[in-house]
Amino acid sequence: MSLPTLRQILGLPAFRGAELLSGQARLDGQITWVHVAEVLDAARLLSGGELLLSTGLELARTSPEARVAYVRSLAEAGVGGLGLELVQWLKEVPAEMLQTARMLQFPILVFRSEVRFAELTRAAHERILRPAVSEDEPLLESLLDALIEAGLGQRFLERQLGTLLRLPSRPKSTLLATLEALLMAQFNIAKAARKLGVRRQSIYYRLEQLRGMLGELESPEKRFGLWLALELLKRQG
């Protein structure tokens, strides 16, 4: 699994509103996970490479010296970056924090309008847990080869897509194409609809069918399994 860089995380649609204020030289650092934390001693809980998200609640209440110490502790812990929502508690990044971050080349990114941290973490974790999809991705090819060589391909397909594969030809092909479009669009209904050339209402309807047949579709692990199954299905012709 290839970990994404901070640059790639910021390129995700969910992070479209992010503005990078410092640490441009660290854009190619790998991001291992995304955490939401307000406590000022968060660094002791992290193992390095994380992108930390905060509303700035405790930062707004504490002293300039404590804010400088906070940035230093994150940088020393190898944290991949700090994302701040500048809406309720902070309207701007305190000058001493920004100065320290720039001196240490530590990435601080900000959101100047309200964002849902749950959506940010979900999008980032999907990218972290799912390799970038491409036909020449060695890991994807090796996984497919391993499943086939071990004689587990058909069983894997059955576990991932079983109910769907037993449908008549026309609804099966329609729902498989819809599932692939949703996965490629990270379940963005509008994008999937544009790709398939149908109305969004059709995608919503088909998504409910897919959920009824395949169960929950929210976890990154589930989505990666489905993507791998679709690629395996293409190999079978």
Per-residue pLDDT of the chain (237 residues; tens, 9 = 90+): 578 999 999 999 999 999 999 999 999 999 999 999 999 999 998 999 999 999 999 999 999 999 999 999 999 999 999 999 999 999 999 999 999 999 999 999 999 999 999 999 999 998 888 654 444 445 667 777 777 777 888 889 999 998 899 999 999 999 999 999 999 999 999 999 999 999 999 999 999 999 999 998 988 889 989 999 998 888 876
Q: What pLDDT does residue 153 have?
A: 85
**Cα 41 to Cα 102: distance, rounded to the nearest angstrom:** 21
Q: What pLDDT does residue 139 have?
A: 61
> What is the pTM (predicted TM-score) of this model?
0.58
**Cα 144 to Cα 161: distance, rounded to the nearest angstrom:** 16
Same domain, 125 and 150: no
Instruction: Tally the domains of the chain.
Output: 2
Q: What pLDDT does residue 167 have?
A: 92
Same domain, 226 and 188: yes
Q: Which long-range contacts (CB under 8 A, 24 or more apart) does 39-44 make?
A: 40/66, 40/69, 40/70, 41/73, 42/74, 43/70, 43/73, 43/74, 43/76, 43/77, 43/79, 44/73, 44/77
> Is there a domain that residue 1 lies in?
no
Same domain, 159 and 99: no
Q: What pLDDT does residue 135 have?
A: 44
Q: Range of 67's domain?
A: 6-129
Domain boundary among 101, 129, 157: 129
Q: What pLDDT does residue 146 have?
A: 77
Q: What pLDDT does residue 48 have?
A: 93
Q: What pLDDT does residue 141 have?
A: 72
Same domain, 146 and 66: no
> Is there a domain that residue 17 lies in?
yes
